[in-house]
Amino acid sequence: MLKWALVFFVISLVAGFFGFSGVSAGAATIARWLFFAAVAIFVVFLFLGVLAGEALF
């Protein structure tokens, strides 16, 4: 998921460089949502891993 966030971020930078502000804004929004979704999933799995670790030891 972070890979796709990076891809959309690069698309946003390239589109912004060439003056396509609408495409740039759209790609930046998608990249932002993908990044925050990946961070949220990471935090959930981290929390579940800590709980599972405590249950084992």
d(CA 57, CA 7): 41
Mean of all residue pLDDT scores within the chain? 94
pLDDT of 57 higher than 80: no
Residue 2 has pLDDT above 80, yes or no: yes
Q: Residue 18 has what DSSP assignment?
A: T
Cβ contact 34:1 at 8 Å? yes
Confidence of residue 31 (pLDDT cuts 50, 70, 90): very high
Say which residue the tokens 């971020």 belong to.
Answer: 9
Give the pTM.
0.83
Query: What does the alpha-carbon distance between residue 30 and residue 35 come to, in Å, rounded to a whole number?
Result: 9
Max Cα-Cα span within the chain = 57
